[in-house]
């Protein structure tokens, strides 16, 4: 799918919206699973977004300067898991996100950033 | 009936095993996804693989808090992997094409410029060719013949990786020498078989022929250098035994020790014949494979540049 420059895909808008929601709940930094769960809760979906789709969208948003990330500090040796990557939404995120039904939510989230929505 | 029952039993067993280990299996699949990216050289993809593994624990805890069983959790994680595959493929495509183009260019470069890998590829191809022709032959080949043919090809592949080297030229010279020796053995055998030694003209001709060998040794400088230090020794060392051998040979032929000579001649003939046969065909097969490998290097280069242009 080709998209016009300056437009966002629905999944990207969902991520932005979910990130804004998390910020309003006081979660300034979030990791991949948190954002996937937030999107699932918002949409009332049965499944979380696919790994490839989610992480690819997160990478694109980071490239466009909408998100920024940092790796978790080195873990204590007893915690046997890889380090998490935390994302932060940057830009005009203080504006309220309207909790409208699904088709318009992505548009609203994208409007926060002054970007259009690409049609899939 | 028994087969059906067995297959049903086996399916149930496999199903139960997969069910019991479903969650560890999908965990490994997530790790494999990360390593696929690592192999493809996508730093970003590999980093996201790390993230996925880090978040997997939270995800599994979340599903458990929802009351899901281990199987259900495994299924959901698997579904997430599968539904994300199209995006994974799209993301991997540039890396795969870059990797392919790079690899092809490197292989082509290696095949064009480095002798050892080229010789190895050609050697393996020749081995395949020789074994295929031996196996597909209607004549049943014994293990000794099979071993002999393979040994000849391996020897060629090892020695001819430098076609212009002294070793390689020595091998080719040896093969030519063996061909000459084979021809001599054949003549000897025919002499005995058809009693040619009874003809006086033939005897004189053969003596002259045998006497030519020392002349070759004297005339040919490399042979002289290899065999002797000084010219003084040549006459004594070369001519005397050769003349004695020729006389003894003629005497043996005339005074019928035919059975012994026949056995010797036959043994020499079959040994030299086999070596010439397998050596010659092995050398030809190796030369063909080497040419094919060198030719395919150009094809690989073409493919690599094609993939690069497509990108």
* Contacts of residue B206, Cβ cutoff 8 Å, sequence gap at least 6: B191, B197, B246, B250
Which pairing describes strands A67-71 and A85-89: parallel, antiparallel, or unpaired? antiparallel
CB contact under 8 A, B90 and A83: no
Q: Which residues of A touch B (CB under 8 A)?
A: 31-34, 37, 47-56, 58-59, 72, 81-85
Interval B76-133: pLDDT, tens? 888 888 888 888 888 777 777 777 788 888 888 877 777 667 777 777 888 888 787 7
Interval A9-68: pLDDT, tens? 888 888 998 999 898 888 888 998 999 999 988 888 888 888 888 988 998 898 888 899
**pTM, two decimal places:** 0.49
Interval A85-96: pLDDT, tens? 999 988 654 444
Q: How far is CA A95 from the centre of its chain?
A: 16
Q: What is the pLDDT of residue B117?
A: 72
Q: What is the pLDDT of residue A100?
A: 42
Interval B124-160: pLDDT, tens? 888 888 787 777 776 656 777 777 777 777 777 676 6
∠ CA B116-B122-B123 to the nearest 5 degrees? 85
Question: Which of A40, A55, A71 to probe the B interface (max B CBs under 10 A)?
Answer: A55
Q: What is the pLDDT of residue A42?
A: 87
Q: Which residues of B touch A (CB under 8 A)?
A: 30, 33, 44, 47-48, 50-55, 57-59, 62, 76, 79-91
CA B197 – CA B262 distance, rounded (Å): 14
Which residues in B lie closer than 8 A to residue A49 (C-beta atoms)? 80, 83-84
∠ CA B214-B219-B220 to the nearest 5 degrees? 100
Q: What is the pLDDT of residue B297?
A: 79
* DSSP 3-state percent helix, strand, coil across chain A (nearest 5): 40, 10, 45
């Amino acid at each position: 799918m080709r998209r016009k420059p300056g437009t966002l895909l629905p999944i990207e808008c969902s991520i932005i919206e979910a990130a804004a929601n998390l910020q309003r709940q006081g979660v300034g930094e979030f990791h991949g699973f948190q954002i996937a769960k937030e999107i699932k809760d918002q949409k009332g979906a049965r499944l979380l977004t696919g790994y490839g789709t989610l992480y690819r969208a997160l990478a694109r948003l980071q490239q466009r300067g909408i998100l920024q990330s940092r790796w978790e500090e080195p873990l204590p040796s007893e915690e046997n898991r890889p380090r998490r990557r935390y994302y932060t939404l940057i830009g005009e995120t203080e504006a309220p996100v309207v909790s409208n039904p699904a088709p318009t939510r992505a548009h609203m989230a994208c409007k926060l950033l002054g970007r259009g929505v690409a049609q899939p | 009936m028994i087969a059906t029952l067995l297959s049903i039993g086996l399916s149930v067993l496999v199903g139960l095993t997969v069910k019991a280990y479903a969650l560890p299996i999908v965990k490994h699949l997530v790790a494999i996804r990360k390593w696929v990216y690592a192999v493809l050289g996508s730093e970003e993809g590999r980093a996201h693989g790390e993230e996925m593994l880090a978040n997997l624990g939270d995800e599994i805890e979340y599903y458990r808090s929802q009351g899901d069983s281990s199987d259900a959790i495994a299924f959901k994680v698997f579904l997430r992997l599968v539904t994300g595959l199209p995006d994974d493929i799209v993301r991997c495509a540039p890396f795969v094409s870059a990797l392919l183009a790079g690899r092809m260019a490197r292989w082509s470069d290696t095949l064009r410029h480095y002798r050892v890998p080229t010789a190895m590829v050609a050697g393996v191809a020749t081995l395949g060719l020789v074994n295929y022709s031996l196996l597909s032959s209607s004549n049943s080949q014994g293990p000794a013949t099979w071993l002999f043919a393979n040994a000849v090809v391996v020897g060629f592949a090892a020695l001819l990786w430098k076609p212009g080297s002294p070793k390689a030229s020595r091998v080719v010279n040896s093969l030519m020498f063996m061909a000459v020796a084979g021809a001599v053995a054949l003549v000897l055998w025919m002499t005995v078989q058809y009693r040619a030694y009874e003809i006086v003209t033939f005897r004189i001709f053969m003596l002259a022929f045998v006497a030519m060998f020392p002349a070759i040794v004297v005339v040919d400088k490399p042979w002289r250098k290899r065999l002797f230090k000084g010219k003084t020794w040549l006459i004594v060392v070369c001519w005397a035994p050769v003349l004695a051998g020729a006389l003894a040979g003629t005497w043996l032929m005339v005074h019928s020790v035919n059975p012994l000579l026949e056995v010797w001649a036959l043994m020499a003939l079959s040994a030299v014949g086999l070596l010439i046969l397998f050596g010659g065909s092995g050398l030809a097969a190796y030369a063909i494979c080497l040419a094919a490998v060198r030719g395919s290097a150009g094809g690989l280069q073409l493919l690599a540049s094609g993939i690069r242009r497509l990108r």
